[in-house]
Structure 1
Amino acid sequence: METLVKLFKNNIRQYGMIIALVVIMILFEMITGGLLLKPINITNLILQNSYILVLAIGMVLVIITGHIDLSVGSIAAFVGAVAAIMMVDLHWHPVVAVIASLVVGALIGAWQGFWVAYVKIPAFIVTLAGMLLFRGLTMIVLKGQSIAPFPNGFQKISSGFIPDFGSAGTNIVAVLAGILFTVIYIVNELRDRRAQKKYNFEVVSGGLFILKLVVIAAIINAFTFMLAIYAGLPNILILLLVLIIIYSFVMNKTVMGRHIYALGGNEKAADLSGVKTKKVTFWVFVNMGVLAAISGLIFAARLNAATPRAGTNFELDAIAASFIGGASATGGIGTVFGAIIGGLVMGVLNNGMSLIGLGVDWQQGIKGLVLLAAVAFDIYNKKKVTFLK
């Protein structure tokens, strides 16, 4: 029991938000009379929040380094507009247009990263300027009008599903995917536990470990079964899983990830330790530009149009997701998984409040209070740790 309590205290940001997400889901499931967790609504939750989750992955890296990016919504809109011109007006092949759009996003990220990393202009100012600049460029490029429709192949990025090989009814691919993910998860957990024991790290008891495996396995298979009942695995879910796995690996297992955490923890100490802080900052913003481009493409594909108002408030949702997911406002702390949990908290709140008929005014106010509470919780924990030291 002492080990369990200690484990929770050491990971209170992450576990706290997971518990909050579960409580919010149960609450709205009861209030909506079971509508929230219906298969069709679960699928809609994924489709509606995919572009924010992609942004949150990049935003948490920026926040970990101690910076902020206010321009991602405008970049997403601008890249969507550029993609529309290439595919709809110039009739480029979708694959070529997508690659070109990602290059545009990388160049924008490099532009902003240069000013932040090498000229030392605060990221808040650089990205605020970028927000205004690329919003204006979006309106100029689109001439104040929407461009549509996109080719069918491009639309499937956001609206398509992995093909099934079974008969009509329950999607076999989704069920098998749940079993596969469960096996991978259990094998990975067993390997990590074995490694921790090898180096004499403290681990939870065997009973608690088995209980954790059973609960997570049940959640994974219940989730994929819900998707299987409706239409199967959305294409965008596969893209999200790939991004989560790649970025979690980079942040937890690579030198680059350690350098990002070191930079956010103490830039001067990281510089003296041999970390190329300017280079790390530069590439974090390049990465943010690419992920903003991906988000813009996903949103354009979902709307099946590029519009001048696309991307509005995306940056606020991504920042909120990162902070709610446990990222520290002072840098050096945060995880990709936490940002995803934070994004899901925001998504479930939006969806649940819409299902019960709350207006946009109330929704904005409640989300603001949730964000404020998350940051206050972070500051409280830091003060508590400092006091104990």
Structure 2
Amino acid sequence: MTSLKQSPPASSGSAPAAALHGGIGDPRTLILRNLRQSGIYIAFVGIVLLFAILTDGVLLSPGNITNIVLQYSYILVLAIGMVILIIAGHIDLSVGSVVALTGAVSAVLVIQQGYPWWVGVAAALAVGVAVGAWHGFWVAYVGMPAFIVTLAGMLLFRGLTLQVLDNVSLSPFPSEYQKVASGFLNGLIGGQGYDAFTLLIAAIAVIGYAVSVFRTRLARIRYQQSVESFPLFVTRVLLVGAVVMYFAWQLAHARGLPIVLIILAVLVIAYGLMTKNTVFGRQVYAIGGNLSAATLSGVKVRKVNFWIFVNMGLLAGTAGVIYSSRSNGAQPAAGNMFELDAIAAAFIGGAAVAGGVGTVVGAMVGGLIMAVMSNGMQLMGIDQSTQSVVKGLVLLLAVAFDIYNKRRAGATR
């Protein structure tokens, strides 16, 4: 058996010095190699600036930034699970129907039958896990393609949603349930005309990000992997920090820190660490990168595939709670086309069509690009049909860019 773990080189004593003096490798090669990862951030900044100009600054107003967070948080939650599936070489077409079903179950328990709000949340998550286990069984242990299994699930769980709701909408949820997606934390430590707590949390997040990426850089150098030059690295960290603090400043001048943003941040951090720093995460990448090699290396492919679908179901249940809380009710048509938005977020964020490539952070950026485009076009009064055309073209270009990168990489070998 071979191991998935890498062994450090015999000599790595110059790693810290290399980290501070520009890294390893030819600058042009490093830029080309990291274009796919860094390009998405450049594109995101460019799109934000474009729509900020086209909307006369309304896009970046405190109230509108808060609305973007509240309106698209459930898509970002779905994108986390979707990118993990895509990395492993799978896909899930049923998440929109699962969002509808979990929200419907929660609404029946809380609104119709009068159970406490947390019972509805727990039931929605449990239904999501059950759905994920259902998909995982057929894909992992029966061997059916995920595309077919989840396509059937899309129809199956949409039909169950109609039956659970008896083809009618249910509302409203109690105020405690509504706070999941519409509540805010503010005024905890004061602030004159702004919420200081929001700024404090953002500052802690920026510091944590800077420490994390610097440690990652040192680790890559110890293993003699290519890294960007130190000035470019510092510029990237400062740019990310500036964007986060500006975002927090706007939130602090609106209604404070949204509870749903805290939920999303916890999920991003947890899944980011899981995919990068755990054996399970490395196995997911191994399966998507080379299934035969992963199997020969001792990866329990069926088990891993089963649990990533269970995880997708759990996150779909979470998105169902957030969406039903945001809309203050459950509707038979809830979650329509959510799966396409989640898939688009993953691919725009750098996931590869063939699997083995992608990151949680990249999927978040891809989802934010979709959110900013949608919100910006709505502010400009562009009709829904044109918005769909633009989103489709962006997704097409993202996948085309992935294919172009692969062909270029193959030509340079």
Regarding TM over 0.5, the answer is yes
- 2:204 maps to 180
1:12 and 2:35 equivalent?
yes
1:102 and 2:125 equivalent?
yes
1:184 is displaced (CA, Å) by: 1.9
2:361 pairs with one of 337, 341, 350: 337
1:83 is displaced (CA, Å) by: 0.4
1:187 is displaced (CA, Å) by: 2.7
The AA in structure 2 aligned to 1:12 is: L
- 1:308 maps to 332
Q: Take 1:194 and 1:327, find their aligned partners in 2: how far apart are those partners?
A: 25
Q: Take 2:31 and 2:184, find their aligned partners in 1: how far apart are those partners?
A: 37
1:43 is displaced (CA, Å) by: 0.8
Contact 1:3-1:204 within 8 A present in 2 as well:
no
Deviations 1:183-241 (A, max 9, x none): 22233334334444555555444433433333222222111111101111101111111
Of 244-253 and 96-105, more deviation after overlay is shown by: 96-105
Contact 2:52-2:59 within 8 A present in 1 as well:
yes
Q: Take 2:294 and 2:230, find their aligned partners in 1: how far apart are those partners?
A: 39
The AA in structure 2 aligned to 1:50 is: S
Q: Take 2:256 and 2:323, find their aligned partners in 1: how far apart are those partners?
A: 21
Q: Take 1:379 and 1:193, find their aligned partners in 2: how far apart are those partners?
A: 27
Q: Take 1:328 and 1:53, find their aligned partners in 2: how far apart are those partners?
A: 18
Q: Take 2:84 and 2:219, find their aligned partners in 1: how far apart are those partners?
A: 27
Of 98-107 and 371-380, more deviation after overlay is shown by: 98-107
Q: Take 1:338 and 1:50, find their aligned partners in 2: how far apart are those partners?
A: 15
1:119 pairs with one of 133, 142, 145: 142
1:239 pairs with one of 263, 286, 299: 263
Of 3-12 and 247-256, more deviation after overlay is shown by: 3-12
What TM-score comes out, normalization by structure 1 length? 0.96
The alignment partner of 2:58 has SS state of coil
The AA in structure 1 aligned to 2:126 is: V
1:30 is displaced (CA, Å) by: 0.8
Q: Take 1:335 and 1:194, find their aligned partners in 2: how far apart are those partners?
A: 19
1:276 and 2:261 equivalent?
no
1:348 pairs with one of 343, 368, 372: 372
Of 305-314 and 324-333, more deviation after overlay is shown by: 324-333
* Alignment map for 1:1-389 (pairs within 5 Å): 4-165=27-188, 166=190, 169-198=193-222, 201-389=225-413
Of 22-31 and 167-176, more deviation after overlay is shown by: 167-176
Query: Cα 1:120–1:192, aligned 2, differ >3 Å: closer, same or farther?
Result: closer
Q: Take 2:87 and 2:219, find their aligned partners in 1: how far apart are those partners?
A: 27
The alignment partner of 1:230 has SS state of coil
Q: Take 1:191 and 1:350, find their aligned partners in 2: how far apart are those partners?
A: 36
1:251 is displaced (CA, Å) by: 0.5
Q: Take 2:343 and 2:231, find their aligned partners in 1: how far apart are those partners?
A: 38
Deviations 1:253-304 (A, max 9, x none): 0000011011111222211211111111110100000000111110000000
Q: Take 1:99 and 1:58, find their aligned partners in 2: how far apart are those partners?
A: 19
Deviations 1:19-40 (A, max 9, x none): 1111111111111111111111
Of 207-216 and 55-64, more deviation after overlay is shown by: 207-216
The AA in structure 2 aligned to 1:14 is: Q
Contact 1:13-1:325 within 8 A present in 2 as well:
no
Deviations 1:71-99 (A, max 9, x none): 00000100000000111112222223212
Unaligned runs of 5+ in 2: 1-21
Q: Take 2:85 and 2:230, find their aligned partners in 1: how far apart are those partners?
A: 38
1:128 is displaced (CA, Å) by: 0.7
Q: Take 2:82 and 2:391, find their aligned partners in 1: how far apart are those partners?
A: 18
Q: Take 1:252 and 1:196, find their aligned partners in 2: how far apart are those partners?
A: 13
Deviations 1:85-134 (A, max 9, x none): 11111222222321222111111100111001111111111111100011
What TM-score comes out, normalization by structure 2 length? 0.91
The AA in structure 2 aligned to 1:159 is: S
The AA in structure 2 aligned to 1:146 is: S
The number of aligned residues is 389
The AA in structure 2 aligned to 1:74 is: S
Of 295-304 and 18-27, more deviation after overlay is shown by: 18-27
Q: Take 1:301 and 1:71, find their aligned partners in 2: how far apart are those partners?
A: 20
Q: Take 2:222 and 2:36, find their aligned partners in 1: how far apart are those partners?
A: 27
Query: Cα 1:255–1:154, aligned 2, differ >3 Å: closer, same or farther?
Result: same
Q: Take 1:348 and 1:188, find their aligned partners in 2: how far apart are those partners?
A: 27
Unaligned runs of 5+ in 1: none
Of 277-286 and 189-198, more deviation after overlay is shown by: 189-198
Of 44-53 and 11-20, more deviation after overlay is shown by: 11-20
Deviations 1:298-349 (A, max 9, x none): 0000000100010000001001111111111111111111111110111111
RMSD: 1.6
Q: Report the identity percentage.
A: 52
